[in-house]
Each structure stands twice: as structure tokens, then as C-alpha cells.
Structure 1
Amino acid sequence: MTKGTVKVVVCGDDKVGKTSLIVTLMKDRFVPNLQDVLPPVTINRDFSSNPYSPKGTILIDTNNEDIIQLHLQLKSADVIWLVYSDHESYEKISLYWMMLFRSLGLNIPVILCKNKCDRYNNTYNMENQLNVNVDTKVEDEEFIPILMEFKEVDTCIKVSALTKYNINQVFYLCQRSITYPIVPLFDARVGQLKPLAREALERIFLLSDNDQDNYLNDEEMLALQKKCFNKSIDINELEFIKDTLLDLRSSSTPYQNPYYVEGKGITKEGFLMLNKIYAEKGRHETIWGMLREFRYTDSLSLDDTILHPKLNIPDTSSVELSPKGYRFLVDLFLKYDKDNDGGLNDEELISMFQCTPGLPKLWSQTDFPLSSVVNNRGSITLQGWLAQWSMTTFLDYSITTEYLIWFGYEGDTRLALQITKARRFRRRAGKFYRTKVTDRKVFNCLVIGKQKCGKTSLLDSFLGRIYSTLYTPTTKPRIAVNSLELKGGKQYYLILQEFNEFNETDILRDKRKLKECDVLCLTYDSSDPESFSYIIDLFKKYNKYIKSIPIVFVALKADLDKQQQRCSFQPDDFAEQLYLDHPLHVSSLWLSSLNELFIKITETALKPEECTAGFPEEMNIDDSDYMQTAVVLGSSIGFVTLLAFTLVKLFKANDHK
């Protein structure tokens, strides 16, 4: 994103040439006999030619006589251009100017500039005498103590207003200190990349290592260059990079190069070393070119507006993955399934999530990967992987957009999502009900029932797990998500959520949870005579909440002896009173009954009007039937009216005769 106008305050001792530098930059020629202080000057030139450069730069000349004004100008600066020209003004850099900046609490880059270096420009001077090459080593060494002592100093440069030597370059350095700040990247005092920079560059390495062999080969380096700088790297430069890394040795591994391996490529440590060299050589823009392409801000965090883009979601709509989102997740799965066994084992999952903050909190809370489909080795399958992300997107799409970016998704993550239409409601017999759903592929079902009635086994069966007779009480909410196919080949994702008894009462009062719910699956143990009374009690307490949501009654443990329920209504009678289907009898040992149930739940989500409590059968008909009835009735009324009108006219005609 383009930066706004930045302020560069030019300061230093009197007579070091501050004003001459500004005028020479503006007019591209040296102008003698200038006024003492210039008014602020705006320059719109951009010497870096990149979209992150500032729109404009304001150069502010300073007067050392007005200390208060000088302090105000320094406090308003984005960059300080500090100028000296001789030994006396050089001594004051450390003794006065840098101390002043710190006393004012300034934490901004300083560009240190030695002016009046006329002899370094190999052109004719004012007397038309050719300058000779001189040894600049002594003056170069002036900069080293400053750079070592003051981390605020971004870079040092020698210039000449008289010969225009490095004038454009120093202005570019001022812009670059804002556009490509060195401070977040490199600690000059210890000569190392800073931790956040290392972390970001390690992630870039992992995302660029497409074959997951822990090396960047030539092809991957060329792809990285093309992605970040939109141009191919010169083959000679690539060879120079490799030669540079080959020449380096580590004291801990003197016989093995830790940075580059012939025939394989650049290691992660080699990639970090290469960027450290870039920082030392002043090539900050190369590092930032990569960081910004991978969505990093100046603070070396991923841009929050990209991680969590705003979506305009109607109140009763849901969010699902688009085909583009599913395609990315399929490719990601295949990339990290190194053994091609159709599942991601623990090692492969760790490798995949290296470039992220770790597993989403939602996944950890729901015992991933046990919340989805795994193979016989406990590795999540592609079916389970896609189901897991379908569930995540439905429950909290911001987790999906965030992790898509962490995984290296390119472009706008909103294109990986799609928003379903808002639910439509109709009013009948004084009550509102949900109408047919046509564009949703992910449905959410809350499984409610008395403790020990078999809810956990139901969720396990949904995921294809073997039935266990061992009872494990549900102490925290559980989620199971899987895909299923209905007649006609249409695929849907079904989320089953289970709660303990203490959570269930809160859930049934939670308007947000109920709004996200497509179907209520009310379960009881058909072999326990005290089980169904729990459902009746829920209706008494939460009748107004429950009756607005489609309901499926389920009698679990149907393989055991059926018991008469000790309550005011038997399950079949209670369902009939609500004009709902009788309970489905299901057992975790009967595969066909389980399939019937999961299909029934999905079909109920698609046609909620057929399973909403409180509508008599004659009122619970399809909208198309109403339309046909209305058309027939309208036609009949019209015909009768026309017939009556014709008969009246005939009678009147006969009277006239």
C-alpha cells in the first residue's frame, strides 16, 4: 500500500551545507549565495519506483538558533537527515545531536551524511581541474563507530552539493528508510537478523520449498524471484549466490557446508544467511520485496486486514468454501502427503503447520483429528480434511481466511469463500417456519438427549468408528463432521454437535447457536424407561426456542429391548401431537439405520418445513402445491363468474323480447 507524505528534517551544525543540499536536489545544480533557512519544500520524485514509496516527501530545513522550533520540527519528523562536513561537526554527532534525539524520545531512522566531499566526484571542479582518486578508507572509518554505537543510524553516505555527488542517492536513502526500514530486520550491534525477521523468512523458505525436501533448488529459487519481483533471476547472479554460500563455513560444521549442498540447493540456514548478507550490504529492498509479497507489514506481522477480511453476511446466511477454496485445500493436502498413503500423519501435519501459529484453537478444543474421518492408522484422510475445513468455515470463517494466508494462499481469500442466501421464512397458522434450502452444502445439527442415551456412540458411528461398549462421559462439547451423498449424487457436509447436560440447557437459550442450527436431533435411549422424560422436560422449559427449528426424534440403542417410557406421553404420541414423524429407531450396530438417520437429518435441513413442530399435515405441503391449488381455484372462480354474467345477460335479453 502506498504510504502518505513523509517529513524529512535536515539538521546539523551551522555551515555544514544543509540548505545547499536541499537546493541542489531541487534544481539539479549547485546554487551559491543562498538564504540561511529555506521554507518547507515538497518533492514528489520517487527514486525507488515501487508501490510502497511515499506519495510525496517534505524536506524541512532547520535553524539552530531557534531551539524550541528545532525540537518541534524533529518531533514531527519521519526521517532525520543529519549532516556534518568536518572534524568539529563530526565530533558533535555523538556528543550533541544523537543525545538530543534520544532526549526527545525519537525512535526514527537517521541518515548520516558527510557533505563537501567534492573530491570524490570524478568530474571537473569549479576551477575545471580534474579530481584525482583519493584513499577514502579514513573517512569510511568515521562511520563505523557511529553505526556501532547508535542503532538509530540507518546508513551513512558521503555527498557534495557542489558537484551533485550522491545527491539523488541520499534522498533515495531517506525514502528507503521509510519504504524499506532496516530496524525491524537487522541488529547492527550484534550483526544478526532480528528474531521476527528470521521467523518470517523461515516461513517464506518453507512455503517456497514446493517439494518439501528442505532445500531451495534452482527451480524454486527462480519461482521465488518471479513471484516477489516479477522478473527472472539472472543465471550469473544465481551462480554468484551459490558460490558465496559455498565459500562460507560454520565453526560448528567445518567439514560440511550448512548453507548450500551441491545437487540439492540452498538450506534454510543458507537462505537466512543470504538475507543477512543483503541486510549488511544495504539491500533492504530485496528482503522487503519478499516480505511484502508474502503479506508482511512493517512490524513483520501478517496484515490483519488480509488475515480477517470483512464480509457482508446477512443475518441468517452461512459461509462455505467455494470451489477455489476446496481446490487450494486439496492441493495443500497432496503437497504434504509425502508418503502418498491418502492420509496426513502426525509428522506430516507438523510439517504443514510449521508456517502457521499451530492448530486452530477450535480444532484443539474438539480433539482434532478425531473430530473428522481418519484412516486405520489415525491419519486424517482427504475426505476428513475437507470436512474439517467445511466445519471450520461454517462455524467461524475468519479462522479459514487466516489459515489460508498462513498456508500461502495467493489473492483475496474472500474468493475462497461463498455466502449462502439468507434463510427464507413463511407464516402459516400464525407461526413462522423456514422454507426449502437450495444453495447450502454444509448443515449443522445439535444432538440433544439425556446422559448415557448413546449420543457419543452416534457421533463415533457417523465417523465410521468401531462401536465400543466402554462408557466415557461427555465432559466438554464434541463435534463430528463428515460428508455424505444423497440420491442424485449431490454431496453435503453434516456437522453433529454433542453437549453435556449442563451445556445443553445453555445452548437451547443461546439465540446465536440456535440461529446456526439447521436441525435439532432429539435423542433418547429406547431401552431406558426414564430417558424420554428428559426430552419432554426440555420442551416444557424451552418450547418457544425448540419449536422454531426443524426436529428429528431418534430412539437410540434400538438393538436392545424396547421399554415403555415412564412419562406423560409415549414418544410416538408426543411426535404426533407436534405433527412430526415418529422417532427413527437406530443402533450403532445397525449400519443401515445409521445411514437412514444421517440422510434424514440432511433432508430435513434441505426441507425444514416438513419437520417443523406445530403444523398439521394438511398445512404442511409444498409451496408448489399451494400455487397449483391457487391457480385451479382462481380459474374455477373466474369460470363461475363468467358463466353467471353470461346467464344474466341472456335473461335480460329474453325480458326485452
Structure 2
Amino acid sequence: MCYSFLCFSPWDEAPYKDATERTTQGNLTLKGFLSEWALMTMLDPRGSLANLLYIGYGGNPASALHVTRRRSVDRKKQQTERNVFHCLVFGPKNAGKSTLLNSFIGRPFSESHEPTAGERYAVNVVDQPGGNKKTLILREIPEDGVKKFLSNKESLSSSDVAVFVYDSSDEYSWKRSNELLVEVARHGEESGYGVPSLIIAAKDDLDPHPRSVQNSVRVCQELGIGASIPVSSKLGDMNNVFCRILSAAEHPHLNIPETVAGREHKQFRQLFNHSLLFMSVGAAFALVGMAALRAYGGRRNSSR
């Protein structure tokens, strides 16, 4: 590939190694090559630019990277101009998070389960209807790493969307995934960095747990997000999930979960703002009335 003539490759170590699509011989595909650049640019923009110059880029370095506007502005404008989207993947152990990432980069399904040690990335170019191409970066957050991740107030600020994976045949898996969803949603409400969220019901080839199905429908309605998406990596039936993740990211004002506490806080703020407005209008009327009274009194005195 492009780095075959160099003495090193910047993608031989984590988190870049095994993060993209490769051929059966282990070489990067074109999509994989472009995806590695996108991942490095997100994680290490200076390193990405340095490597670009190292391989002979002759253009203006300032034009090599495109700085997009803040995500908070995207939410207000209800649209985004991004071509690269960052998705957080949450879920309990053995829910199917790693399998989801493997499917995304074309890895074959495996029955064996190896717990993920630390965070992991998977990135690929997604073909959308109409011929558009967008790059999606999946970042797996291990269950035991969620607390540390959320300890940073701005942990969600660089993310465009979040998905919550659970084993559809396991009731506990659903309960834990729901807890993580509420936990992340609260963090978003408190920090101001709420993100569109989707629920993924993995292992759809197994018999679904009836109570989990019912509860997932109820929770989605209560939080104001879309219905859970059933997928089966084993059967290769991914239900167009990656395009649906991209679609959620491209509409940053939708599918943002709203907890009960967040809803009550929002209602309190609205009531408080209305009260301030009422008090301001009342004060304005009082001032106008006093001014009119003084003018009337002055006119009477002058007429005597």
C-alpha cells in the first residue's frame, strides 16, 4: 500500500491496528486506507498532517484539514455539514458490541467470545442512498470503563451519536443497557452535550426475551427516541444499522433521550423564564403608569 516504501507505518499499533477493512491477505483496502486517515485526523490531527507531509503532500497544509462548526450549532440549525461522524458504542458485557464493530469492517462472525480490553475503534466508509459516502467511526466503551469515561464533563462533546447494544435474548442484558442509556442521557443533560441515541437489539437469531421486547418499546417512547433496531451478525442481517446510525448523526436535534429529571428541569426553566417575562412586563407597565401619572400631575399644576 501507500506506506510500503516507508520505514514505518503510523497504523501498526492501537488504536489504528485492526480498526479498518482489510483484504484476505491483510492489506488495507481503499476504504480502509481512507478510514485510517479519518481516524488519525480525529484522534491526532497534528500527527495526521505530519504524516501527510511525510509522504509528499505538496498542497497547502492549511487546506488539508477542514475544521467543522461546533456540534451545539449543528443542533440549533438542525443540520450538519460533517462528512466524518463519531459514534459511541455502549452496552453490557457479552451484549454484542465487539461483534457489531467486526461486522462493520467486514470481519467474519465468530462464536467465541473474547472480552475487549480497553476501548476499541472501528471505522469505515458507508455508502448512502443517492451515492453519498460518509465515514463512520465506532468507538466501543467497555462496561467497566463507562464510569471513568463519564467522569469527564466534556466526554460527549466530540460525539455525534451513541448506540446502546444489548443481547435480545437476555433480560439482564437489556436492563443493564437501559441503565447505561439513562446514565449517559443524564450526563448529556447535565453537561449540555446530549447526543442522538439508538438502541440495538443484538443476537436477533436467538429467541427474544418477551419482557425485554415490551420494556424496550416503553423505554424508547418514554425517552423520545426511535424503536430499537434488531440485528443478527451471525445471520448477516444487520438491518441497515450503520446507515441508520449515520442518519441519526446527520439529524443532531432528533433522538436525544430526555429523562424524567431532565424533563422536569426543562419544565422548571420554562416556568421560571415565563415568570421573569411576566415580571418584566409588569414592571414595564408600572413604570409607564408612574410616568403617565407624573405627566398628568405636572399638567394639572401648570394649568392652575
SS at match of 1:522: strand
Distance 2:166 2:146 in 1: 14
Of residues 377, 386, 407, the one that matches 2:25 is 377
Q: Which of 436, 447, 452 lines up with 2:78 in the alignment?
A: 436
Post-superposition shift, 1:590?
4.0
**Contact 1:539–1:546 at 8 Å: present in 2 too?**
no
Paired residue type of 2:14: Q
User: What secondary structure, in the 3-state scheme, does the structure 1 residue paired with 2:175 have?
Assistant: helix
In structure 2, the residue matched to 1:549 is 195
Q: How many residues align?
A: 255
2 CA distance for matches of 1:390 and 1:528? 36
Q: Residue deviations 1:337-396, cap 9 Å, x none?
A: xxxxxxxxxxxx4x4331xxx343x7612251x210101111111110011101211222
Q: How does 1:555-570 map to 2 (within 5 A)?
A: 555-565=201-211, 570=215
Q: In 1, are the aligned partners of 2:16 and 2:39 still within 8 Å (CA)?
A: no
Alignment map for 1:364-513 (pairs within 5 Å): 364-366=13-15, 368=17, 370-425=18-73, 435-513=77-155
Question: Does the 8 Å contact 2:91/2:180 carry over to 1?
Answer: no
User: 2:1 matched to 1:353?
Assistant: no
Name 1:603's counterpart in structure 2.
Answer: 247
- Report the CA distance shift for 1:539/1:373 in structure 2 as closer, same or farther (over 3 A): closer
Q: Relative to 1, partners in 2 of residues 1:612 and 1:417: Cα closer, same or farther, differing over 3 Å?
A: same
| Cα distance in 1 for residues equivalent to 2:121 and 2:170 | 25
For residues 367 and 439 of structure 1, the distance between their equivalents in structure 2, rounded to whole angstroms, comes to 25
Query: Among residues 579, 584, 596, which one is paired with 2:229 in the alignment?
Result: 584
Question: With structure 2 as the length reference, what TM-score do the two structures score?
Answer: 0.77
Higher relative contact order (CA 8 A, sep 6+): 2
Alpha carbons of 1:541 and 1:580: their partners in 2 closer, same or farther (altered >3 Å)? closer
Give 1:435 deviation, angstroms.
4.4
Structure 2, unmatched stretches of 5+, are: 260-304
* CA apart distance, 1:454: 0.6
SS of 1:523's partner is strand
Would the alpha carbon gap of residues 540 and 411 (structure 1) be closer, same or farther in structure 2, given more than 3 Å must change?
closer
Corresponding position of 1:613: 257
Q: From the CA coordinates, give the structure whose radius of gyration is larger.
A: 1
**Code of the aligned partner of 1:594:** M
Deviations 1:293-320 (A, max 9, x none): xxxxxxxxxxxxxxxxxxxxxxxxxxxx
| Contact 1:456/1:498, CA 8 A, preserved across alignment | yes
Report if aligned partners of 2:164, 2:198 keep a CA contact under 8 Å in 1. Answer: yes
Letter in 2 for 1:446: L
The one-letter code of the counterpart of 2:130 is G
Distance in 2 (CA, whole Å) between partners of 1:587 and 1:533 is: 20
Equivalent in the alignment of 1:538: 180
Q: 2:65 and 2:23 mapped to 1: Cα distance?
A: 28
Deviation at 1:411, TM superposition (A): 4.5
**1:453 to partner: Cα distance:** 0.4
1:539 CA drift (Å): 4.4
Deviations 1:112-152 (A, max 9, x none): xxxxxxxxxxxxxxxxxxxxxxxxxxxxxxxxxxxxxxxxx
Who is 1:572 aligned against?
217
The answer to whether the Cα contact below 8 Å between 2:91 and 2:97 also exists between their aligned partners in 1 is: yes
The equivalences for 1:229-308 within 5 A come to none
Aligned-pair distance for 1:471? Answer: 0.7
What do residues 268-304 of structure 1 show as CA deviations (whole Å, max 9, x unaligned)? xxxxxxxxxxxxxxxxxxxxxxxxxxxxxxxxxxxxx
**What is the SS of the residue equivalent to 2:208?**
coil
List runs of 5+ in structure 1 lacking aligned partners: 1-332, 337-348, 427-432, 616-657
Q: What is the identity, as a one-letter code, of the residue corresponding to 2:202?
A: L
Asked if 2 retains the 8 angstrom alpha-carbon contact of 1:520 and 1:551, the reply is: yes
